[in-house]
Structure 1
């Protein structure tokens, strides 16, 4: 169950849940109410538990794993910050971005107790927010920004950076992020290219179409991990495959045997 309340979102899951699309298109402040949230941006991995608060950055590749507790479901509360709000706040402060920040896709702010108290207080407004009170939602968004910047003024460099990604090294980016389950237009956008330019540049670099390269790269990694004793059920999602049956089918087509046979 997930109920969207303008830009304040309350989520609840009673089974383990992974996001299918692993592209973050918004900035958000979140708190785990119960259960666990595991985040992995390909470099940094962290598990957040009850009471932990974290900031998720826009235009990032990020894997989510929501785990319920033994006796309770997974519950979380999130505030999304839309671009118009951030643009207006930035203009009000005459803010000038010194340079684009190089930080993980998520930032742990659990040490800021006042942010935890603030997020907990939002639970008291749940009925109002569920009834679509835009004035209250906007007020709480602004309050969250004030508290965030009070905790760490450098977070303005993160949240006020709302421009589109600039053109970056495509080869290095793809070698680092091939295992994320996103569409080609997401990869193109994150490397600062149109889809057509992305495909053209990709084939110049790798000598192969991006879809074919992604499949082969993921299968090569799968073969390596299976040889190391990993199970197909433990790796297929982490390598960007949407379901086990499709992974088994393409693996057998590529290597002539199903993944389970490689373990024998």
Structure 2
């Protein structure tokens, strides 16, 4: 066994992105390499055999399977077939994984499972998925990488939900990010206090504020106000009356909404509508283009 420790995916790239698709090839077998994964990984083996050793045991992976590994330290051996070992490696950090689960409101087992190696069949869809990745590589099109990673996570979570649930539980064991994002996403306009949100996350207020600031780069009060004002601006641009939207935005009365809107933008809701005009532009963009460019909440 080699004394060299490989750190991946850093060993493959100098970038700092949370995701990476890497096409790995080797023409020689290797025996129990020490590997530290700083991100989670999907291994779509194309040619050869992989043997994985963890603290919980050993798994053999062929090109008929997809290996799912949470970040951590493992031993890996590679066996070539016809002097060739080839795999497509998809790396993604816990931020990408927690964002994915939060957007789709996926639950997971918060207790860390005893098994840390997970496999799903590399069926015809996933084989064609690999072909699409190779085609994009040949075209030099890396702009689609993020979309393709979301695609494969969505497919595996849909076709193998139990395995994906356990994998997420392993990857996010002890992580609070996903719970915060789920609670925030479901209560953007429900008028809950920071204390109430912290309670729903099973955290103290101070712990909730600390994690929230790390996730959103601002305190909860500022974030929720910004979201409310952005939504108010959109609804008013669509010529909805202030009296129709204040409750939807979590305000107890029209006066409270109007005062906060004017304090935030320097204009009353009515003044804002007068300046934008009926059905013309939202945020300076044609209505059709605006809806195309509006980002997801999470």
Q: Please, what TM-score do these two structures have when normalized by structure 1?
A: 0.52
- The change in CA–CA distance for 1:35 and 1:98 in structure 2 (over 3 A counts) is closer
Residue 110 of structure 1 corresponds to which residue in structure 2?
121
Contact 1:87 1:162 in 2 (8 A): no
Pair member with larger Rg: 2
SS in 1 for 2:97: helix
By how many angstroms is 1:145 displaced? 0.7
Tell me which of 126, 129, 148 is aligned to 1:140: 148
For the pair 1:158 / 2:167, whether they are aligned, the reply is: yes
Residue 95 of structure 2 is matched in structure 1 by: 84
Alignment match, 2:77: 65
Counterpart position of 1:169: none
Aligned length: 160
Query: Which of 29, 44, 55 pairs up with 2:57?
Result: 44
- Backbone CA RMSD of aligned residues: 2.9
Query: Where does residue 271 of structure 2 map in the other structure?
Result: none
Q: CA deviation at 1:49?
A: 2.6
SS of the residue aligned with 2:25? strand
Residue 56 of structure 2 aligns to a residue whose secondary structure is: coil
2-side partners of 1:21 and 1:74: how far apart? Answer: 18
Separation (CA, whole Å) in 2 of partners of 1:41 and 1:148: 23
SS in 2 for 1:109: strand
Relative to 1, partners in 2 of residues 1:81 and 1:35: Cα closer, same or farther, differing over 3 Å?
A: same
C-alpha distance after superposition, 1:6-64 (max 9, x if no partner): 610111111122464433322221122112111121433232233432211223x3210
1:33 and 1:118 map into 2 onto residues whose CA distance is 12
Q: CA deviation at 1:112?
A: 4.2
Residues 27, 56 of structure 1: 8 Å contact kept? yes
Q: How many angstroms apart in 2 are the aligned matches of 1:88 and 1:52?
A: 25
Match of 1:124, SS state, is helix
* CA spacing shift, 1:24–1:18, aligned 2, 3 Å: farther
Distance in 1, matches of 2:165 and 2:36, equals: 22
1:125: Cα distance to partner? 1.9
Larger RCO, structures 1/2 (Cα 8 Å, 6+ apart)? 1
Equivalent in the alignment of 2:227:
none
CA distance in 1, matches of 2:59, 2:108: 28
User: Is the CA contact 2:44–2:89 (under 8 Å) kept in the aligned structure 1?
Assistant: yes
TM-score (norm 2): 0.46
How much has 1:132 moved relative to structure 2? 6.4
Q: Is the Cα contact below 8 Å between 1:31 and 1:53 reproduced in 2?
A: yes
Gaps of 5+ in 1: 167-264
